[in-house]
Amino acid sequence: MPQRRTVEVLLDDVRWALDSALSPRELRAMLARLLREAPARSEAALFAQRHLGRLLLRDQPFRAARLLRDALAVLPHDDELWGLLGIALTVLGQYRSAAHAHRRALSLAPGSVTHLHNLGHLLDVGLGRPEQGLRYLAAAHRAIAEEEIASSYAHALAGAGQSAKAREVLMKALDWSAERANGQLADWLSARPPR
C-alpha cells in the first residue's frame, strides 16, 4: 500500500508539473522517478514512458525510442506513441524504420495532420523520395495551411520538379513576394543532392 500511495502522489505531482510548464530538466527527473516507482506496465509507468520519451526525443533519442517501444508493447494501437517513435528513429537516422512507425501511426489515425506531415517530410527529406511524400504533404496542407506544413509541401513539390506550384504554395502561405519565393526555391534545389 505505501508504494501505491507513493506512485499516486508522484503521478499527481507530474501532472501538476506538466500543467505548470516546469522546466524539461525538472520534468525529466520527476518522470524518471515515477517510472522507477511505478509497477511495470501500469498506467503510471505508461504515462511516464510516454512523457519521458517525448522529452528525450532530441537529446537522448535512443533512450526515448526504448521507452516508447516499451509502452507500445502494452498499447500497440496508440497512434501518438507510434508517431513519437517515428520522430525518435528519425533523429537516430533510422529513416526506413521511422517511415514504418509513421505509417503505423497514420493507419491508426488516418486524418492526423501531424502524422501526414511527419511521414511526408520524412519521405521527401530523409529518404529522398519527394514524389512519395507529396501525397501526405498535400493532404496535410489541405487540412491546415500553416507555414511549416506549407514549407514542407513546397520543398517536396520543388524536389518532384513542380517548381511553379511550389512557388505558388510559398507565396500564398508565407505571404512572400515572387522574388523571395524564387530565391528560397533556388536555395532548396541547389542544396538537394542530385538524384
Per residue in 135-147, pLDDT (tens digit) is 999 999 999 989 9
Owning domain of residue 8:
1-101
C-alpha cell at 82: 507510434
- Given this model, what pLDDT does residue 17 score? 94
Do 66 and 135 sit in the same domain of this protein? no
Give the pLDDT band (50/70/90) at residue 5.
confident
What is the distance between the alpha carbons of residues 124 and 184, in angstroms, rounded to a whole number? 17
List b or e across 80-98, with b for residues whose CB sees 16 or more CB atoms inside 10 angstroms: bbbbbbbbbbbbeebbebb
Q: 77 and 138, same structural domain? A: no
Q: Are residues 116 and 35 in the same domain?
A: no
Q: Is residue 106 part of a domain?
A: no
Final residue belonging to a domain, choices 80, 101, 122? 101
Q: Is the same domain home to 8 and 95? A: yes
In which band, very low, low, confident or very high, does the pLDDT at 182 lie, cut at 50, 70 and 90? Answer: low
151: burial class by Cβ within 10 Å (0-12, 13-18, 19+)?
A: buried
d(Cα 23, Cα 9) in Å, to the nearest integer? 19
Is the model more confident about 38 or about 168? 38
Average pLDDT rounded to a whole number, residues 59-63:
98
Among 101, 132, 165, residue at a domain's last position? 101
User: Are 190 and 121 within one domain?
Assistant: yes
Percent of the chain residues past pLDDT 90, beyond the cut: 79
3-class state of residue 115 by DSSP? helix
